[in-house]
Amino acid sequence: MPKLPLDILTPNAGLNLLPVLLITALALLVTGVVMIASASMDIATELTGDSYYFAVRQLMFSGLGCVLGLVAANVPVAWWERSGWLLLGVGLFVLALVLTPLGTTVNGSTRWISLGLFNVQVSEIAKLCLIAYLAGYVVRRRYELVNTWIGFLKPLGVLGVASVLLVVEPDFGATVVLMTAAMGMIFLSGVRLSRFMPLIAGCLLIGTLLIMMQPYRLKRVVSYLDPWKDQFDTGYQLTQSLIAFGRGDWAGVGLGNSVQKLFYLPEAHTDFIFAIIAEEFGLIGSLLVLSLFTLLVVAGFIIARRAEKEGKPFAACFCYGITLLIGLQACINMAVATGLLPTKGLTLPLISYGGSSLLMTCISIGILARVEIERMVAAGGEQPQGIFRGGAAYE
């Protein structure tokens, strides 16, 4: 992979980033549990009769996520590289499976498969699987990718199939995140920016057509441009979110004192949890959450850059992709809540209610930790341990 202008991020190659990565992720995880307990009490009472229903489930998901993250941290990076085709098959399979009678429809979208105790959002699984496959492709076919159009278009064709399956669900937000993260990975591999221009133009054209073809998407765009024009219909969700930000002022109204969560703001504990954070903790709390995500993303990029400099191209590319997924989803969610982007059904990683997103994000954090562990152990001349082949990580 080419040299990138990120050396400023790695002034000390010996600095252990694991505490920064894990403490930041844990802080966001705890924030999520606390805020869901605050934001969901009334709706949980209305729907289930148990005011702590969503909070308890989120706490359970958080515990399971920590376990899965620990497991991921013990899986050698080489396993992900060897399993690229398997992961591609899994990703496409689950995206197709949700379109069968096994899929569960909620609010007009068929994005979930019911497992009894909870629903699995298949796009969260597919995104990680497809990013792992793409990282392997970038390493195996880098010369072809950088120097030929056919090498550039091959992975985009595979991702195009996944995007079609996502749009059919429909899950337009996941499509945007996946394709943007993929193009970011390809760009960081050394592909010239001019190669992306026709692709970007094509994506904008397709996106415009998709918006025009579905009335609800067009309404979202119109309400985004002027939410107060129809604040009790198409602009209702955004205006209620903006009211929450306004009520929060500098320091907020205090934990548990939000008014917007009292059935004014729909999806207060999922897609618009950031608005409740802003209302209860004000600008200070919002900036703190934003700072935590910034720190998490910067740590992920530094880990990726270090792996690249140590001659681990797959690990570097995989980390770039994972970090882009987390960072883009967080940015889009917060931008939607503040009215900077049209409404999309994307959760705030580690904070919003939802088991699938939480579990896959914890696994992603575990992978980032594993890459840093392998780098540090390799620098010390020791063999990293894993959960396969009797505990020895294989190359």
* Closest of 206, 177, 189 to residue 151, by C-alpha: 189
Q: Where in the sequence is the domain holding 107, given as residue range(s)?
A: 86-349
Q: Looking at the 3D structure of the chain, how many domains does it have?
A: 1
103 touches 281 (CB < 8 A): no
Give this prediction's pTM: 0.87
Q: Is residue 252 part of a domain?
A: yes
Q: Is residue 361 part of a domain?
A: no
Instruction: Catalogue the long-range contacts made by 201-210 (C-beta closer than 8 Å, 24 or more residues apart).
Output: 203/179, 207/176, 210/167, 210/172
Average pLDDT, the chain: 84
Q: Is residue 370 part of a domain?
A: no
How high is the pLDDT of residue 385? 52
How high is the pLDDT of residue 394? 34
Instruction: Catalogue the long-range contacts made by 99-105 (C-beta closer than 8 Å, 24 or more residues apart).
Output: 99/165, 99/168, 99/169
Establish how many alpha carbons lie within 13 A of residue 269's alpha carbon, considering only the half-sphere containing its beta carbon: 25
137 touches 155 (CB < 8 A): yes
Q: Is residue 366 part of a domain?
A: no
* Closest of 3, 25, 89 to residue 323, by C-alpha: 25
Q: Is residue 395 part of a domain?
A: no
Establish how many alpha carbons lie within 13 A of residue 350's alpha carbon, considering only the half-sphere containing its beta carbon: 26
Residue percentage of the chain with pLDDT more than 70: 89
Q: pLDDT tens, position by position, for the chain (395 residues)?
A: 444 444 434 444 557 788 999 999 999 999 999 999 998 888 888 888 888 899 999 999 999 999 999 999 999 999 999 998 999 999 999 999 888 888 777 766 778 788 777 788 888 999 999 999 999 999 988 888 888 888 888 888 888 899 888 888 878 888 889 989 998 998 888 888 888 888 778 778 877 777 777 676 676 676 677 777 777 767 788 888 889 999 988 988 989 888 888 888 887 888 899 999 999 999 999 999 999 999 999 999 999 999 998 889 999 999 999 999 999 999 999 999 888 888 777 889 999 998 889 999 999 999 999 999 998 887 775 545 544 333 333 33
Could you tell me which residues are beta bridge partners of residue 266?
A: none
